[in-house]
Amino acid sequence: MDILDKIRASSKHYAHDIIKIRRLIHQYPELSFQEFKTSKYIYETLKSLKLDSVIKFPPTGVVALLNYDGSSHKKCVGLRADIDALPLTERTDLPFESKNPGIMHACGHDAHTAMLLGAAMILSDLIKELTGCVKFIFQPGEEKNPGGASILIKHGVLKNPGVDVIFGQHLLPNITAGKFGFCPGIMMASQDEIYITVIGKSGHASQPHKAIDPIVVASQVVLAIQNISSRYTNPYEPLTISIGKIEGGSATNIIPQEVKLSGTVRALNSKHRKKTLGLIERTVKGITSSAGAKYKFEISHGYPELVNDKNITSFSSTAAVEYAGAKNVFISEKMMTAEDFSYYLKRIPGTFYWIGAGNTTGLHTPTLNIDESILPYGAGFMAYLAWKYLEGYSK
């Protein structure tokens, strides 16, 4: 029996357990950096396996090592899953629907976690087949700045032992269950949050000439910053500027003192990213100044663009063809979504890839409902990737 047959057999053996794990995590979702019960469950599950160590990483991360004897000469593969959920009320009517009001695993992190735990189960049984070390990284806070990846890196997650390469996967809705998508080079955008406060002068709605209306000024700001992408940006350089939240006013007959705008800026180029943020502030300054208003402009810098190592991505897509067949492997397009997996890829080679989730609504929607057959299947592929790299990766 070759390694693929062994991995497939093990995936089938653990299929029920992996699906059960996903459903349990799905029922009790927790927000970014508050994944205390999820983290405890992951830790206890890992402790029950044949692993060399299971370590808690602040604030709520868990990292486990397999086939590590303290030697610095062995290769080490990192496999990563994110564990946090979103502030969203679930509407799936599943028997294992979220029991935590207003919180849902609407981005598939429950599935990512279950698949990585499944990979740990499979590789634990096949430890004699491994020629190096595997580091399983269960990461909190992917959905919230500054990103759990950046925090775990600061705490040394890529050291002791040093990780040579890292792999991560993400569900992709409305792609046939079990298909794998790879994107060499730039795959996802950078992501920054902007917070704009327009400060006017309050007054009675019947006397607008005695006030400085921040609602009118803020409206002009929202429209004007859209011109940055349509008139100040190279059309071959993807860029999105979206205002997702507006706060201001208390009554129909009162001109308020201030209005707050919150939004996100996404780009595929670091220089373009920096230039755009400067243009936004310049636009806000110009409009508020012309209206006699004032402003505050704050940036919460988020994740850098995600850039996959081309050689590792080619290696991974070849492994996917071996595992799933050529018809189930595709080259994916770049997307304007963001992922803090990008922080790992700034430090070491690796790749982030898609796994089809079947016919369902999009990510971050209250009705996301994946095809659970991908859970043992995705776990098996992560295990195969780790084995194949350790067995003898070469450029």
Is 322 catalytic? The answer is no
Q: Which amino acid is at 60?
A: T
**Residue 119 is which amino acid?**
A
Catalytic residue among 295, 343, 372, 389: 372
Q: Is 35 a catalytic residue?
A: no
- Tell me the sheet residues that pair with 135: 65, 78
Instruction: Report d(CA 307, CA 250) in Å as an integer.
Output: 45
CA distance 212 to 207: 10
SS3 for 154-175 is HCCCCCCCCCCEEEEEEEECCE
Q: What is the DSSP letter of 292?
A: T
Catalytic hit among 14, 303, 343, 384: 303
Give the three-class secondary structure for 304: coil
- In sequence order, which residues have a C-beta less than 8 Å from that of residue 77 and are 6 or more positions away? 132, 133, 134, 135, 163, 164, 165, 166, 167, 385, 386, 389, 390
Neighbours of 314 (CB within 10 A): 15
| E strands, the chain, in order | 53-57, 61-66, 76-82, 133-139, 165-172, 180-182, 185-188, 190-199, 203-204, 239-248, 254-255, 258-267, 294-300, 306-308, 329-331, 350-356
Buried/exposed 42-67: b ≥16 CB within 10 Å, e otherwise:
bbebbeebebeebeebebbbbbbbbb
Calpha distance 119→125 (Å, rounded): 10
> Helices 109-125 & 374-392, crossing angle to 10 degrees?
50
C-alpha 177/C-alpha 93 separation (Å) is 21
Helix and strand totals (H; E) in the chain: 9, 16
Residues marked as catalytic: 303, 372
